[in-house]
A and B are shown apart, each in its own frame.
Chain A
Amino acid sequence: MFGLVLRGLATRKLRSALTAIAILLGVTMISGTLVLTDQIDRAFVQIFQAGNAKIDVVIKQKPPFENVQTSVYLDAAVVDQVRKVDGVKTADPFIQSEGYLIANGESLNSTGGAPSFVFSNLPQDLNPYTPIDGRLPEASGEVAVAKEIADKGKVKVGSKQQLATQDGIKDVTVVGILQYGNGDTSLGGSTTVLAPLADVQQWWALEGKASYIYVKAQDGVSQGELKDRVRAALPQQDLIVQTGREDADEQAGQLNDLIGKIIRYALLAFAGVAILVGAFIIYNTFSITVAQRTREFAMLRTIGASRRQILASVIGEAFLIGLLASVAGIVLGLGLAWGLGKLFGAIGFGLPATGLILSWQTVVVCLAVGIGITVLASIFPALRATRIAPIAALREGATLPVGRFAKFTPAIAVVIGVLGGAGMAYGLISSGSTTGRLTTLAGGAILIFLAVAMLSRYIVRPVVSVLGVPIGAVAGGVGRIASENAARNPARTAVTAAALMIGIGLVVFVTIFVGGIKASFTGAIDSSLKSEITVSARGFGGTIPAAVLPAVQGVEGVQTASPVGGTAVQIGNGGYALIGIDPTTLPEVYAFDWTDGSDALLGTLGTDKALVESTIAEELKVKPGGTVDVLSISGAKATFTVVGTYTDPTILNGIVVDQPALKPLLQSNATGLNTVFVRVADGTSVETVQAGVEEALKQFPTAQVQSNQEQKDQAASGVNTILVIFYALLALSVVISLFGIVNTLVLSIFERTREIGMLRAVGTTRRQLRAMIRWEAVITSIIGGVLGVLLGILFGWAVCKGLESDGLVFVFPTSQILIFLVLSIVAGVLAAILPARRAAKLDVLAALSYE
């Protein structure tokens, strides 16, 4: 039997290859993702281990609550206690902050979202950087810079440059060029400047503070031993003591959670879509081939093959295709990971050259998914093959018996659809964990796709009769035949179209979803802001110097400059933003959308009252009159009485208090200022004032000045980048579904060889024949495109409605939808190229011979 399977695959080469491609591309993506993210994971570990190579023990502040992005600091004087510990060779405070070198007027900050670091200098026996030219910085005003920056900005040792700090631009002298670790590891696109500790403390308002205390052990004292001794010597329970290795692994793990895992799960989600589309195609291909081989199976039955053997032969074929496709997919995945790594490098997020890692887990996952899905998708067709009676071998034109459950298909589909709808609704409305909600949402969407795919066979005929009219008008008799051919096997056309539907549906969905995010932001700016210019913190340091406010107020044409600050706080188990505002000026620059309260409340806030954003109020289950207990990132605690609620999931999304109430909750280095809303005096040009503000803030590189339009554009461009990435990832699924169309057409043409011969004999030209195939493909792709657009709109609408309280707005993307419909037609035309060629090449006589 197995020999027969092999022979079958060999004789149906093209068909087998096309089927394999359907699953191969999905497996490629899984393999590529796993290889790439393993590489990222290892890169992070290498980076941090290189950083801690010389460090035996690390002491750091325990944050008052988990899951905070804000850095916390410890008292630098702890180092005096540590130095006294027996076995300590060197101990030094270290600060990690953000800033960058400005060389000859050019800002040498990082690219691609990686941070721009300014580190405090360490003695060489703790320092992961070594000078390759010059020396480490010692005196105030001296800096050393990483080689990458020096190369980029043509920075020479001894040159006078500038350093962008939280406190403004400082004049510095470059005294050294540095390499990290042993030179073959870089920090993934980030930039590094070293400056003396005292300078960093002063310029980042961290006097007396440190991010870490790094300790070097004396010879013969192990990391673990020293850690225990340091721990014992430090009574402060809010300090964490780790070995250098533990700290490196922890930091690598945190960064990996933040980046590697997100990349991994996002890419795997898209790979999952590709696999789902592939499953449809495999199901369809096997259904068609089993039908075409009815007589062959019947013949096998007459010569004594059992049902089980028939089942095994079909599933065996699926297994082989799955195996070949998976192996090829794994190999191609290595190439994909390599390409993506290069792409990351090109956009400025270079990964250390750790080489491609093909772990056994990757191989197992790819084989399991690739073979598993292929076999699974072939089970129903295989079961139908077993129902072929031996007598069919003797009958001319015997057809496959209908499945036992065929008559229940519509009912089953409806049940699946309802379940899917319920899953989506649950995912949108429930208050469970985000992962759980996303999973139910995605599961619901898959079920709905399935249900629509199962039901869509019933719309094939009506759609074709509608489309047939214009197609008949354009293409004449050939168009008519094409329409009829498309409607001939509604189930076949429907499943082929459904594969495309999934890709197009998700494309439409992300368009609406991302459009909703964009609209929520622009809508918030339009409806909430009365100011025309916003000064905000650049990068994720998140704070601007207090001196910015008077500087802005001094600009001619500024009517109101309203300061806003904030800090991360924990309330209950959730993290929120505590926002400090100025009650007298805020109403001039910002319009509250009150759910309970009025602007009159602002003046009454004092130091113990707060306004809460309405969605947060619901989460915290507080109403005006109730209280909230906050724990600040600085460790300070406070209780506020809620006096009003308002809706703004975008700009002031948090708990609003008067600025004096915020002050005691800030970390010592925080200025309590992160935004200044600027209202321009009537009759003054916004451009002029903006230019004035920019001029006044030249000294403050962390302050970014933007008009409302610029803010919208910035948000839009960020969101558009995401959209483009999503499109690129979904394009793979669309391409796979094109192979599905190709496959179905090739199989159908094979089936209709004689018809095609007859058509050619009675005067159909090759060109007309190609047109006929093309129209059939286009009809299929239009059905897929239209269904996809409809489902995409439905999903988009549901998700936007479900997340309305988070500010999401449903915007109907008319022009994009038209483009997608045109693209699905183009997709059909592309898919038809190969089958049309094959059909046109058919030898008329061979087609007509009936021996």
Chain B
Amino acid sequence: MSAETEAATPTSAVGDVVVATDLTKIYGEGDSEVRALDGVSVSFPKGQLAAVMGPSGSGKSTLMHILAGLDRPTGGSVLVDGTELAGLNDQKLTLLRRDKIGFVFQFFNLLPMLTAKENIELPMKIAGAKPDPEWEATLVEATGLGTRLTHKPAELSGGQQQRVAVARALLSKPAVIFGDEPTGNLDSKTSGEVLDLLRRAVDEFDQTVIMVTHDASAAAIADRVLFLRDGKIVRDAGRLSAGEILDTIKTLE
């Protein structure tokens, strides 16, 4: 099945932050071979909030890991902010992640022994860079964490923890932020707070966000929704309502 292109943006253009071409990822060999990604070509322009959806085992995580330079594809190429990932060694890949990519995970996002503020500043501290104080203040303001900055993660609610993680991802103004089920572990109220923040990051701060999600209401705030099945992009749509998304998923399962 070929991807039905109905998105507002072309597949590839100058100014795309992430460009993937003909990605394949094969696990195992012979009979036990699994094609986790099977010829995926997709690109993400700057300033877009994209959601990647699909049934379990469809290759969402694999795609995100490869786009984020955490894993290498079996074939195909990935450009992040103009840099081809294929030729990079571990050191260069790490530095690229540090400088150009932000991450929000489902679990284990924060270091328990550091305060919220320290967690936000962590990647910049590791990079030996000084956070821009104005930008940091703006982010703190946006996350609504002002009074809780000196608290340890254990003293924060799940939603607050995840907002700290978003602020951390935003602080270095990366080219793109990846989220792997960023709201997967939260209830609907707190996940709303986190999604709001991601939305604002794109709208107000001109950031680019690509998130994998299971949650139709989360995908509904995205500018673009990609559907994966069996390692292939089966639908690449613009903004969809939660209802439309659920319908699409039903057809996939």
Residues of A within 8 A of B (CB): 476-478, 480-481, 484-485, 487-488, 754-755, 757-768, 844-845, 848, 850
- With A764-B98, A765-B94, A848-B70 given, name 18 new contacts (CB 8 A): A477-B121, A477-B122, A477-B126, A480-B114, A481-B111, A481-B114, A481-B122, A757-B108, A758-B103, A758-B105, A759-B111, A760-B94, A762-B123, A763-B99, A763-B127, A764-B94, A765-B98, A850-B106
Tell whether A763 pairs with B98 under 8 Å between CB atoms, given A476-B125, A488-B113, A850-B107.
yes
What is the distance, in angstroms, from A809's C-beta to the closest C-beta of chain B? 47
Q: Which of B105, B106, B125 contacts A477 (CB 8 A)?
A: B125
Query: Is there an interface contact between A762 and B108, defined as CB atoms closer than 8 Å?
Result: no
What is the distance, in angstroms, from B136's C-beta to the closest C-beta of chain A? 15
What is the distance, in angstroms, from A194's C-beta to the closest C-beta of chain B? 77
- CA–CA, A763 to B101, complex, Å? 9
- CA–CA, A766 to B94, complex, Å? 9
Q: Which of B71, B97, B118 contacts A763 (CB 8 A)?
A: B97
Q: B91 on the interface (CB 8 Å rule)?
A: yes
Query: Is there an interface contact between A768 and B97, defined as CB atoms closer than 8 Å?
Result: no
- B168 partner residues in chain A, CB cutoff 8 A: 762
Q: Which of A477, A478, A484, A848 contacts B108 (CB 8 A)?
A: A848
Q: B86 on the interface (CB 8 Å rule)?
A: no
- A754 partner residues in chain B, CB cutoff 8 A: 107-108
Q: B90 on the interface (CB 8 Å rule)?
A: yes
- A755 partner residues in chain B, CB cutoff 8 A: 108, 111
Tell whether A762 pairs with B122 under 8 Å between CB atoms, given A488-B113, A844-B70, A845-B71.
yes
Query: Is there an interface contact between A768 and B126, defined as CB atoms closer than 8 Å?
Result: yes
- A765 partner residues in chain B, CB cutoff 8 A: 91, 94-95, 98
Q: Nearest B residue to A754 by beta-carbon distance?
A: B108
Query: Is there an interface contact between B126 and A761, defined as CB atoms closer than 8 Å?
Result: no
- A758 partner residues in chain B, CB cutoff 8 A: 103, 105, 108-109, 111
- CA–CA, A77 to B203, complex, Å? 120
Q: Nearest B residue to A752 by beta-carbon distance?
A: B111
- A848 partner residues in chain B, CB cutoff 8 A: 70, 105, 108
**B97-149: which have CB < 8 Å to A?**
97-99, 101-103, 105-109, 111-114, 118, 121-128
- CA–CA, A369 to B241, complex, Å? 72
Q: Which of B68, B102, B107, B113 contacts A484 (CB 8 A)?
A: B113
Query: Is there an interface contact between A476 and B99, defined as CB atoms closer than 8 Å?
Result: no
- CA–CA, A765 to B124, complex, Å? 13
What is the distance, in angstroms, from A445's C-beta to the closest C-beta of chain B? 35
Residue pairs across A and B with Cβ atoms less than 8 A apart, 11 shown, are A480-B118, A480-B125, A481-B114, A481-B122, A488-B112, A754-B107, A758-B103, A762-B102, A762-B103, A763-B126, A848-B108
Query: Is there an interface contact between A485 and B91, defined as CB atoms closer than 8 Å?
Result: no
- B95 partner residues in chain A, CB cutoff 8 A: 763, 765
Q: B151 on the interface (CB 8 Å rule)?
A: no
Q: B35 on the interface (CB 8 Å rule)?
A: no
What is the distance, in angstroms, from A539's C-beta to the closest C-beta of chain B? 65
- B90 partner residues in chain A, CB cutoff 8 A: 766
What is the distance, in angstroms, from B92's C-beta to the closest C-beta of chain A? 10
* A477, A762, A768, A844, most chain B CB atoms within 10 A: A762
Q: Nearest B residue to A844 by beta-carbon distance?
A: B70
- B108 partner residues in chain A, CB cutoff 8 A: 754-755, 757-758, 848, 850
- B107 partner residues in chain A, CB cutoff 8 A: 754, 850
- CA–CA, A757 to B107, complex, Å? 12
Query: Is there an interface contact between A476 and B126, defined as CB atoms closer than 8 Å?
Result: yes
Q: B46 on the interface (CB 8 Å rule)?
A: no
What is the distance, in angstroms, from A851's C-beta to the closest C-beta of chain B? 11
- CA–CA, A848 to B126, complex, Å? 19
- CA–CA, A477 to B114, complex, Å? 11
Q: B65 on the interface (CB 8 Å rule)?
A: yes
What is the distance, in angstroms, from B242's C-beta to the closest C-beta of chain A? 26
Q: B163-179, CB under 8 A of A: which get 1 and which 0?
A: 00000100000000000
- CA–CA, A850 to B105, complex, Å? 11
- CA–CA, A481 to B112, complex, Å? 10
- B125 partner residues in chain A, CB cutoff 8 A: 476-477, 480
- CA–CA, A476 to B125, complex, Å? 6
What is the distance, in angstroms, from B176's C-beta to the closest C-beta of chain A? 13
What is the distance, in angstroms, from B132's C-beta to the closest C-beta of chain A? 16
- CA–CA, A850 to B123, complex, Å? 22
Query: Is there an interface contact between A763 and B128, defined as CB atoms closer than 8 Å?
Result: no
- B127 partner residues in chain A, CB cutoff 8 A: 477, 763
Query: Is there an interface contact between B91 and A761, defined as CB atoms closer than 8 Å?
Result: no
What is the distance, in angstroms, from A84's C-beta to the closest C-beta of chain B? 94
- A764 partner residues in chain B, CB cutoff 8 A: 94, 98, 126
- A760 partner residues in chain B, CB cutoff 8 A: 94
Query: Is there an interface contact between B126 and A478, defined as CB atoms closer than 8 Å?
Result: yes
Tell whether A484 pairs with B114 under 8 Å between CB atoms, given A761-B97, A848-B108.
yes
- B94 partner residues in chain A, CB cutoff 8 A: 760, 763-766
* A477, A485, A763, A768, most chain B CB atoms within 10 A: A763
- A478 partner residues in chain B, CB cutoff 8 A: 126
Which 7 A-B residue pairs are closest in the complex by CB-CB distance? A763-B98, A477-B125, A484-B113, A754-B108, A477-B126, A762-B123, A765-B94
- CA–CA, A768 to B128, complex, Å? 11
- B71 partner residues in chain A, CB cutoff 8 A: 845
- B70 partner residues in chain A, CB cutoff 8 A: 761, 844-845, 848
What is the distance, in angstroms, from A755's C-beta to the closest C-beta of chain B? 6
What is the distance, in angstroms, from A179's C-beta to the closest C-beta of chain B? 70
What is the distance, in angstroms, from A779's C-beta to the closest C-beta of chain B? 13
- CA–CA, A126 to B175, complex, Å? 100
What is the distance, in angstroms, from A489's C-beta to the closest C-beta of chain B? 10
- A476 partner residues in chain B, CB cutoff 8 A: 125-126, 128
Query: Is there an interface contact between B91 and A759, defined as CB atoms closer than 8 Å?
Result: no
- B97 partner residues in chain A, CB cutoff 8 A: 761-763
What is the distance, in angstroms, from A775's C-beta to the closest C-beta of chain B? 13
**B42-97: which have CB < 8 Å to A?**
65, 68, 70-71, 90-91, 94-95, 97
- A481 partner residues in chain B, CB cutoff 8 A: 111, 114, 122
What is the distance, in angstroms, from B88's C-beta to the closest C-beta of chain A? 13
Query: Is there an interface contact between A762 and B98, defined as CB atoms closer than 8 Å?
Result: yes
- CA–CA, A766 to B95, complex, Å? 11
What is the distance, in angstroms, from B135's C-beta to the closest C-beta of chain A? 17
Q: Nearest B residue to A849 by beta-carbon distance?
A: B61
- CA–CA, A765 to B71, complex, Å? 15
What is the distance, in angstroms, from B126's C-beta to the closest C-beta of chain A? 4
- CA–CA, A845 to B118, complex, Å? 24
- B118 partner residues in chain A, CB cutoff 8 A: 480
What is the distance, in angstroms, from B85's C-beta to the closest C-beta of chain A? 14
- B126 partner residues in chain A, CB cutoff 8 A: 476-478, 759, 762-764, 768
What is the distance, in angstroms, from B250's C-beta to the closest C-beta of chain A? 25
Query: Is there an interface contact between A487 and B123, defined as CB atoms closer than 8 Å?
Result: no
- A761 partner residues in chain B, CB cutoff 8 A: 68, 70, 97, 103, 105
- B121 partner residues in chain A, CB cutoff 8 A: 477
- CA–CA, A127 to B114, complex, Å? 83
- A766 partner residues in chain B, CB cutoff 8 A: 90-91, 94
- B106 partner residues in chain A, CB cutoff 8 A: 850
What is the distance, in angstroms, from B185's C-beta to the closest C-beta of chain A? 10
* B91, B113, B126, most chain A CB atoms within 10 A: B126
- B99 partner residues in chain A, CB cutoff 8 A: 763
What is the distance, in angstroms, from A847's C-beta to the closest C-beta of chain B? 9
Q: Nearest B residue to A485 by beta-carbon distance?
A: B113
- B91 partner residues in chain A, CB cutoff 8 A: 765-767
- CA–CA, A477 to B128, complex, Å? 7
Q: Nearest B residue to A480 by beta-carbon distance?
A: B125
- B102 partner residues in chain A, CB cutoff 8 A: 762
What is the distance, in angstroms, from A164's C-beta to the closest C-beta of chain B? 72
- CA–CA, A104 to B98, complex, Å? 79
What is the distance, in angstroms, from B54's C-beta to the closest C-beta of chain A? 17
- CA–CA, A496 to B219, complex, Å? 49
- CA–CA, A757 to B111, complex, Å? 11
- B105 partner residues in chain A, CB cutoff 8 A: 758, 761, 848
What is the distance, in angstroms, from A390's C-beta to the closest C-beta of chain B? 25
